[in-house]
Structures are given as C-alpha cells and as structure tokens.
Copies of this chain bind each other. A is one copy, B any other.
Amino acid sequence: MHRVCVVGSGNFGSTMAKVIAENIVAKDLKDFEKEVRMFVYDELIDGESIVDIINKKHENVKYLAGIKLPENIVAYRDLGEACTDCDYLVFVTPHQFITSLLPQMVGKFRKDATGISLIKGVYVNDNKIELMTELISDYLHIPCGGLMGANIAMNVAKQEFSETTIGFSEPELGEKWYPLFHNRYLRVKVIRDVYLQQLCGTLKNVIALGGGFIDGMGYGQNTKAAILRIGLEEMYEFARWYYPAKNCQSLTLIETCGIGDLIATSYGGRNHRCALEFAKTGKDFEVIEAELLKGQKLQGTLSAKEIYQLLKARHATKKFPLFTTIYLICNKQVPLETIFDYDGSHLDIEEE
C-alpha cells in the first residue's frame, strides 16, 4: 500500500493535501492508504497547538481558515515520524525552509519513494541555477518531479475550476501521481519538460512585475498583452540558453505552468499589485512591500535581481532585454518607459 506525506501546511500545502485526501476516498484508490499525512510546523494559536486543532477540527485555522479539510488528513508535528514508511512525498514548504527540512527525512521514508515539488522558485547561487526538483532529488536520492500551474490556493480549496501541470523527466512517474491530483475541478496534464516548467514558475513573477508597470502607467490591454507575450518568449529563450541539453519545448509554454500561470499572476497576483503601485507612486519596493504585504517579501523583485546577476556575470543581459530592464526599473536605474525599448540598445552599458 502506498502512503502519502505532504511536507508543508501553508495555504497551498493544506489545499493540495485536501485534493489528494479527497481523491483517495472519492476515487476509492485501493493502492493507497486512506490516511494522508501532513507535516505541520507546530505553533500555538490562542494557546492551542495548530497540529491538535487540525486533527480535532479538520481546519487549518491559520492558513486556510473557513475550509473544511477531509478527515483522512492527519497532521504530524515531527517530520521524521510523518514521512516514515511513506513512498509518495509532496514538498510544499516555503522555499527558504527546504534545506533545513530535508535532513530530518533521511532514512525514514521508503527506499522506492518518489517526490513531487509544489514549491515555486529556483535557487540561484554563485550565478548558477538549481531547480528545487534537483535539490530534493540530489539530497534524498529519489526521483522528483514538479507540479505547478495557475493555482491560487484559496480558489482551488473552494473547488473552483483550475488546471495544473505535472512535470517529470520520466513520464511514467508523472502518471503515478496523476490520479492523486486530477479530478473534476483540477485538470491535470503530465509533461516531461521539467526544466522549463520549473523556470516558468519563477520567471513568471518577473514578467508579472512588467505587467504591473504597464497597468500602473495607464496603458491598455494591447500593451500589457505585448509585454506578457514577449516575457513568455524570453522565458523560453532563457530555458534554451541555460539548459541547452535539456530539450526544452515551446509546447510547455502553452500549458498552465506557462501561459496559464503567467496570466493569473499578471492579472491577480501580489507581484503585479506591488509593481502597479510602484509605477503609480514612485515609491521604493521596500516601502510598498511594507505597506501592502504585512512583512511578506515579494518573490518577483528577488528573482529579478538573482536572474539579473546571473545574466550580468555571463554577459547576457542584451540577450534578455525584458528581464534585464524589469530589474533595472525595480532598482530605479532606468525610467519605466524603458520597458518598451525592446531591442535592448539601452543595455549596451550593462555588457561592459
């Protein structure tokens, strides 16, 4: 019997644990244990442990308030215990916690386990990109794919129709995960192109900043559509440039992990909202983050900086004029209107 452990319990983690737990029961997936384990970083809510609250009330009152969780989700406060004897490992923690969590799992889960990362974002270290799926796979010595798409957690939790993409280099592994996620309100497609899929999850946040600039400057849908589309092309070119041997496919752009997520993020996400405010008010992003996000950090500006540093180190800023220009605008080095200088001629100085 297979056993699922969801590592993480934020709004997206709780939502996807809910999808899996619902599917095991509703589809009567006989090869799976009914119990879906969810590792929860324990904390006190009005004096009571969140782990106990979830197991008693079947609601994540902190991160997914108002949504009833299936009773076959069981919260664990110890990660080692949670993943013991599990062979389906779902990673859905914030980006920055993953390296401290992985060591707690070593030697606990089954040897034939596979992982799937729902974490948006890639590591950029020393001007090198490490995909979250690679990091998990290398550390735990298990195959690991990714799942991403236009999946705003609360909308999926409310069973509003959405789509998501599973990416696995070995498609037969992707097919193993498919029944756990696919249902009538979450339409799943399995692809092989895990590199472009993972990059899309990060780079789309940079392009969404550009979409926010356009809206903040007061331009119409022509112009916004143009920036998103050029951004999509640049995401593809970036993937082919950085991973020339990985056979990145343009068709991946047409999946929900590509264009779907880009649209949803650029019309509804926080990167878009903060960039719109930036363009309208001229305030620094630090100020806007503090005012609008209650202490949370913006992913797009951080990714824009990391990608920019990588491009600069490799003398490739002119090859990716939109990514580069969006960073320079965020940093107030060039005016907003520079986003339309699509030939990159203003970037000559960057290459020196």
> A277 within 8 Å of B by Cβ?
no
Chain A 255-287 interface mask (CB, 8 Å, partner B; 1/0):
110011101110111000000000000000000
Among the stretches A72-80, A152-160, A169-177, the one at the interface with B is A152-160
- Contact between chains at B259 and A223 (CB < 8 Å): no
- Contact between chains at A219 and B254 (CB < 8 Å): no
Copies assembled? 2
- Contact between chains at A221 and B267 (CB < 8 Å): yes
Chain A residues 217 to 246 lying within 8 A of chain B, measured CB to CB, are: 219-230, 232-233, 236
CB A180 to nearest CB in B, in angstroms, measures 19
Across-interface contacts of A139 in B (CB, < 8 A): none
Given A162-B226, A250-B254, A342 contacting B151 (CB threshold 8 A): no
Q: For chain A, what secondary structure do more than half of its interface residues adopt (helix, strand, loop), or is it mixed?
A: helix
- Contact between chains at A221 and B254 (CB < 8 Å): no
Given A185-B340, A187-B342, A225-B261, A219 contacting B256 (CB threshold 8 A): no
Residue on B nearest A151 in the bound complex, by CB: B222
- Contact between chains at A219 and B263 (CB < 8 Å): no
Count chain B CB atoms within 10 A of each CB in A162, A185, A342 and give the residue with the most: A162
CB A72 to nearest CB in B, in angstroms, measures 25
Residue on B nearest A220 in the bound complex, by CB: B155
> A251 within 8 Å of B by Cβ?
yes
Across-interface contacts of A224 in B (CB, < 8 A): 263-264, 267
Chain A residues 111 to 152 lying within 8 A of chain B, measured CB to CB, are: 150-152
CB A170 to nearest CB in B, in angstroms, measures 24
- Contact between chains at A264 and B160 (CB < 8 Å): no
Count chain B CB atoms within 10 A of each CB in A152, A219, A251, A260 and give the residue with the most: A260
Given A254-B232, A254-B233, A225 contacting B155 (CB threshold 8 A): no
- Contact between chains at B150 and A226 (CB < 8 Å): yes
> A87 within 8 Å of B by Cβ?
no
> A253 within 8 Å of B by Cβ?
yes
Count chain B CB atoms within 10 A of each CB in A154, A187, A225, A251 and give the residue with the most: A225
Given A221-B150, A254-B232, A254-B253, A226 contacting B163 (CB threshold 8 A): yes
A220 is contacted by which of B152, B230, B342 (Cβ under 8 Å)? B152
- Contact between chains at B155 and A229 (CB < 8 Å): no
Across-interface contacts of A251 in B (CB, < 8 A): 250
How far apart are the CA atoms of A330 and B209 in the complex, in Å?
A: 36
A-B contact pairs, 5 of them (CB 8 A): A225-B260, A225-B264, A229-B255, A229-B263, A267-B267
